[in-house]
Structure 1
Amino acid sequence: MSQRYASWWAFWYSKGLYVLVALLMAATIILTTPQVSQGRSWLDLLLQGVQVIQLSRLSDNQEVQLGQQINQALLKEGKVELYRNDQINRYVTSIGQRLAKKSDRPSIPYTFQVVNDDTVNAFATMGGFIYVHTGLMEKVANEAELASVIAHEIGHIVGHHAIEKMRKTAITQGLLTAAGLDRQTFVQLGVQLAYSLPNSRGAELEADQLGLQNLKRAGYAPIAMLTFMEKLIKYSSSAPEFLSSHPATDDRITALRASIDPATANKGDGLNEKSYRNFVKPLIAK
């Protein structure tokens, strides 16, 4: 009996020691991992049962789900007013889906929405959500120019630029813990970044190049991306929101000129200005 008891004690002692060592290692990792003082600690989040988002390990499904929540918050908080015209929305969606299928990230579901806003602007949030202002649709000359803007925004999604921007902003604002961001903070920050913070120079240049390749693969004339940007700078007394929130515009135009072959610049769809204006102008006229 005593031998059986001794064996039982040795077994559970070893198990207990193993658990103790594991707990000590976990505590050491938590205590020695640098954390921003303003952020909530990893242990606090764990004890409160808050779901934590690891910015460096987002799957496509997670990104799409979080993008859906950011989109819902943008609508609920009145940051975005959707334009209620089925014909215009179907038109923009058809262009967007044509591009998305030929993008470098075709596997996620893209959502294209028209925003009732006179400013010349377009933007993207993570998870395939892209927004185009009616003011921009009035300014572009043809379908290819509109497609070039949408292709640029798809380029941001392909490059995961929103996630990287969120990571840097969370660090700057002291919101990022060793574990990541809790879901509520993640969504709130996503709403904030959708409008207020421009992308980096590197992100814009990359989105231009990804968008240009996407535009060509989808069969649109590549010259449209260049003419749209040049026109906005030339004819605007002050830079429109689309350009003022996108830094290093001159560098971007220079890079686009170098990337577009003059021999094939006008080859492709979407350059018929009359057709575009006959279709779009009456629908978005105020």
Structure 2
Amino acid sequence: MLNPLSVVSSRSRRRWFYPLLSVMVALGLVLSPMSASVKALPWDRLLFQGVQVLQLSTISDRQEVQLGKQINDQMVGSQIRLYRNARINQYVDQVGQRLAAVSDRPNIAYTFQVVRDDSVNAFATMGGFVYVTTGLLATVDNEAQLASVLGHEIGHITERHALKQMRQAAITSGIATAAGVDTNRLVGLGVEFALNRPRSRSDELQADQRSLQMLAKAGYPQSALIAFLEKLLDQPSPPSILSTHPATRDRIAAIQKAIGPSNANTGYGLDPQAYRAAVQPLR
């Protein structure tokens, strides 16, 4: 004779067991192809799977560095020619790392590279990649002026200016899809921003302010940034570095208002002879 309690218990188990089994089977059908597709994708592509365009300006440091590396690889592969002198590259990296260490984002790895180009130019892309031309190195008078330029480019990175511009451009041009961002087109847009697209006036002024902060913390005179910009104004034709920037005189005026009098004209890196010796291979 069956125990009535056993019958009730068996029926109760069936009531929850079969629905649970159905859910497990359904999940298996959904997740199995998803897992297979995930395994087939390179890990760096996974970084941007599901990243919506509205989130682009606030992606993680890891995602930003990876995107910057892809942009750098494309530029080095087809857009710019690097200057391979080890002594010059080590010197520029030393100055740049000194500034990066006192920046608002010291925890990402910064890469400073010298581009073989006679034009006076410097630029940066997200993730810590900064570039300076041999023409600019030959133009500045001392290390402090070089530091002011590198600080300005680091300022663009710390404020994520390129990512914010890229977000707006992605919305405008429609390169983002419902599934996320098309990484290949994103890299191409990043290259264009680094080399050709003008920065906004507010971004440039903000990068100048960040440069002033880094100069002071690293022991360089803040007036070096003014000295560099004034030097460019005297040139017969506008250098490349000014072609994508707002009015230089407006920037100089804003910098003059922001400079602290205690460290405006004193500090490290003012010796022109020491600088010429450091970049001697360029001469």
Taking structure 2 as the reference length, the TM-score comes to 0.82
Contact 2:175–2:182 (8 Å) recurs in 1: no
From the superposition, tell whether residues 248 and 13 of structure 1 become closer, same or farther in structure 2 (CA, over 3 Å).
farther
Residue 8 of structure 1 deviates from its aligned partner by 3.8
Look up the SS of the partner of 2:114 in the other structure: strand
Partner residue, 2:239: 240
Residue 81 of structure 1 deviates from its aligned partner by 0.7
Partner residue, 1:275: 274
CA offsets, 1:189-244, max 9 Å, x none? 212221111111111111110111001100111110111011101x1222211011
Q: What is the alpha-carbon distance in structure 1 between the residues aligned to residue 229 and residue 143 of structure 2?
A: 14
Q: What is the alpha-carbon distance in structure 2 between the residues aligned to residue 173 and residue 5 of structure 1?
A: 60
Partner residue, 2:282: 284
Q: What is the alpha-carbon distance in structure 1 between the residues aligned to residue 167 and residue 22 of structure 2?
A: 39
From the superposition, tell whether residues 248 and 176 of structure 1 become closer, same or farther in structure 2 (CA, over 3 Å).
farther
From the superposition, tell whether residues 231 and 94 of structure 1 become closer, same or farther in structure 2 (CA, over 3 Å).
same
Q: What is the alpha-carbon distance in structure 2 between the residues aligned to residue 56 and residue 146 of structure 1?
A: 29
Partner residue, 2:208: 208
From the superposition, tell whether residues 6 and 132 of structure 1 become closer, same or farther in structure 2 (CA, over 3 Å).
same
Contact 2:91–2:278 (8 Å) recurs in 1: no
Partner residue, 1:67: 68
Q: What is the alpha-carbon distance in structure 2 between the residues aligned to residue 243 and residue 221 of structure 1?
A: 22
Alignment of 1:130-209 (within 5 A): 130-209=130-209
Q: What is the alpha-carbon distance in structure 1 between the residues aligned to residue 213 and residue 256 of structure 2?
A: 13
Residue 249 of structure 1 deviates from its aligned partner by 2.3
Deviates more, 1:93-102 or 1:60-69: 60-69
Deviates more, 1:147-156 or 1:66-75: 66-75
Deviates more, 1:1-10 or 1:243-252: 1-10
Contact 2:95–2:147 (8 Å) recurs in 1: yes
> Which amino acid counterpart does residue 278 of structure 1 have in structure 2?
A
Q: What is the alpha-carbon distance in structure 1 between the residues aligned to residue 245 and residue 114 of structure 2?
A: 20
From the superposition, tell whether residues 11 and 69 of structure 1 become closer, same or farther in structure 2 (CA, over 3 Å).
same
Give structure 1 regions of 4+ aligned residues with deviation exceeding 4 angstroms: 1-7, 9-17, 48-51
CA offsets, 1:54-113, max 9 Å, x none? 414411111111111111111112x11110101100100000111111111100110000
Deviates more, 1:173-182 or 1:112-121: 173-182
Q: What is the alpha-carbon distance in structure 2 between the residues aligned to residue 57 and residue 135 of structure 1?
A: 34
Partner residue, 1:117: 117
CA offsets, 1:171-202, max 9 Å, x none? 12121234431222222221222111111111
> Which amino acid counterpart does residue 151 of structure 1 have in structure 2?
G
Alignment of 1:30-45 (within 5 A): none
CA offsets, 1:6-37, max 9 Å, x none? 864666558979x99xxxxxxxxxxxxxxxxx
> Which amino acid counterpart does residue 60 of structure 2 have in structure 1?
S
> Which amino acid counterpart does residue 60 of structure 1 have in structure 2?
D
Partner residue, 1:34: none
Q: What is the alpha-carbon distance in structure 2 between the residues aligned to residue 111 and residue 147 of structure 1?
A: 15
Residue 170 of structure 1 deviates from its aligned partner by 1.2
Structure 1 spans left out of the alignment, 5+ residues: 21-44
Equivalences, count: 257
> Which amino acid counterpart does residue 97 of structure 2 have in structure 1?
Q
Residue 160 of structure 1 deviates from its aligned partner by 0.6
Partner residue, 1:27: none
From the superposition, tell whether residues 11 and 105 of structure 1 become closer, same or farther in structure 2 (CA, over 3 Å).
same
Partner residue, 1:84: 84
> Which amino acid counterpart does residue 235 of structure 2 have in structure 1?
S
Which one has the largest radius of gyration? 2
Residue 251 of structure 1 deviates from its aligned partner by 2.1
Q: What is the alpha-carbon distance in structure 2 between the residues aligned to residue 16 and residue 241 of structure 1?
A: 65
> Which amino acid counterpart does residue 239 of structure 1 have in structure 2?
P
The answer to whether the aligner puts 1:224 opposite 2:224 as a matched pair is yes
Partner residue, 2:265: 266
